[in-house]
Amino acid sequence: MKYKSNRNIVFSCNYHVVFCPKYRRPVLVDGVDERFKEIAWEVADELGFEIAEMEVMPDHVHLLLSIDPQLSIHRAIKRIKGRSSHDLREEFPWLKSRIPTLWTNSYFVSTVGGAPLAQVRKYIERQKEV
């Protein structure tokens, strides 16, 4: 991914995110998966972040997000999960009978890309010499 910028920041903040339906039930099937993707894209457009990759498995979702550091990763994930839970349970009523809520409260997130931490530390240390 390339560097992005807003009015006052040049950045490259990329996150790998994984989350699952409640009880890891395989409910992201039969059109729910495709509709989830549409909702995720809508949220990304609204909040101004990029979905670089997205894969929806029957029992979990993988996202690669590029987010402005002024936008909290937690806020982006919370909005995707909240909107998709509301809309999908309304559009696919059978989801309501399968699980009490669509998503678990938890998620996995990891930063992606850039130099290894040791190299960044060396770079910062060397700045004193410049």
Q: Does residue 123 carry a catalytic annotation?
A: yes
Looking up tokens 């890309």 gives: 113
Find out whether 106 and 19 touch, Cβ atoms under 8 Å.
yes
One of 3, 15, 107, 123 is an active-site residue; which one? Answer: 123
Task: Order across the sheet with 60-66: list the strands.
Answer: 50-57, 60-66, 14-19, 108-112
Entry pTM:
0.86
pLDDT tens digits in sequence order for the chain, 130 residues long:
578 888 889 988 989 999 999 999 999 999 999 999 999 999 999 999 999 899 999 999 999 999 999 999 999 999 999 999 999 999 999 999 989 999 999 999 999 877 676 776 777 678 767 6
Domains of the chain: 8-129 (3.30.70.1290)
CA 32 to centroid of chain Cα atoms: 17
DSSP at 31: T
CA 46 to centroid of chain Cα atoms: 14
